[in-house]
Amino acid sequence: MEKNAKIYVAGHRGMVGSAIYRKLVKEGYTQLITRTSSELDLRNQQDVADFFAAEKPEYVFLAAAKVGGIIANNTYRADFLYENLCIQNNVIHEAYKTGVTKLMFLGSSCIYPKLAPQPLKEEYLLTGLLEETNEPYAIAKIAGIKMCEAYRAQYNCNFISVMPTNLYGYNDNYHPQNSHVLPALIRKFHEAKVNGTAEVNIWGSGSPMREFLFADDLAEACYFLMQNYNEAGFVNIGTGVDLSIKDLALLIKKVIGFEGELTFDSSKPDGTPRKLMDVSKLHELGWKHKIELEEGIKLAYMDFLAKHI
């Protein structure tokens, strides 16, 4: 990507999009195109067509999506399917129509079957049933991967897809109901510490295993792949290391300095038992994460304190 190339970052205000935007600014790119959701509704086909016709971006990072945690995914099932399909369909199709040089579509690790072998290799896609609670979101993301592959096959578009693991970092969502597990725990432990609460109750048994990647590391990987990867198959992006939700909670407790006890509510759903990415393909391409989990949680907590307290 030339430094003066026109680059559209879709979803630049979200955690992932903002990290990609910061990385591009740091690398000296001067023609970055952004639109807030109030300025451009990516669900609206005509609006997206008009935007691409007017701006003619050369490169696109498609990081815009309707996202949420286990409750949001399971509650707003129709919204997650419909809105994500609309966003992807419109952006990918207009990128093709206006001759975008290269597009990167960002998916999610929830695309993999619930009981797929661990760690999750790219070839396990569509080999089994999905986790029921976030099936609509996963189906939308699978459609996005297949859409990029189809436009590559039929129209020779250089459209690539990447599958990030669980993410956290700057500009994360700390909503009490609609956030993911790591930011939700940061908020819970912080509030318990401030309020002098004796214990923090955590959803589920604490036994599911999860992998977490700092969003700025994801941005580094996306930038690397945008420069170096031009193949049909998608690429997992993660650390290749996981830990239990209980151990995650203990780590966050330590970072925040909460002195009370932990309890687990086993009546609440655990979700997928384990979700660890096989990142050997990414490592072979020449990229590895830099920010380890404890350091990343400290950075995220400082960001939470700056923006939410």
- Mean pLDDT in consecutive groups of 10 residues from the start of the chain, 309 residues: 96 96 98 97 98 98 87 87 98 98 95 93 97 92 98 98 96 84 95 96 94 98 98 97 97 97 92 89 98 98 93
Domain ranges of the chain: 6-171+212-239+277-291
Q: Report if pTM > 0.85.
A: yes
CA dihedral 46, 48, 52, 57 (to 10 degrees): -170
List the beta bridge partners of residue 105. 62, 161
296 labeled binding residue? no
The β-bridge relationship of strands 261-265 and 212-214 is: unpaired
Would you call 82 a catalytic residue per the annotation?
A: no
Three-class secondary structure of residue 223 per DSSP: helix
Residue 304 identity (one-letter amino acid): F
107 labeled binding residue? yes
Residue 17, both tokens: 């999009």
Determine the pLDDT at residue 272: 74
Residue in the structure block whose two tokens are 């990030």: 164
Buried b (16+ CB within 10 A) or exposed e, 272-308: bebbbbbbebbeebebebebebeebbebbbebbeeee
17 labeled binding residue? yes
Q: What angle do CA 110, 114, 118 make, to 5 degrees?
A: 90
List the beta bridge partners of residue 6. 31
Determine the pLDDT at residue 76: 87
Determine the pLDDT at residue 94: 98
Determine the pLDDT at residue 145: 98
102 labeled binding residue? no
Give the architecture-level CATH label for domain 6-171+212-239+277-291. 3-Layer(aba) Sandwich (3.40)
Provide the total of helices (H) and of strands (E) in the chain, helices listed first: 10, 13
Instruction: Name the active-site residue from 29, 137, 151, 170.
Output: 137
Residue 158 identity (one-letter amino acid): N
200 labeled binding residue? no
Residue 148, both tokens: 């990029």
Three-class secondary structure of residue 301 per DSSP: helix
210 labeled binding residue? yes
Determine the pLDDT at residue 24: 98
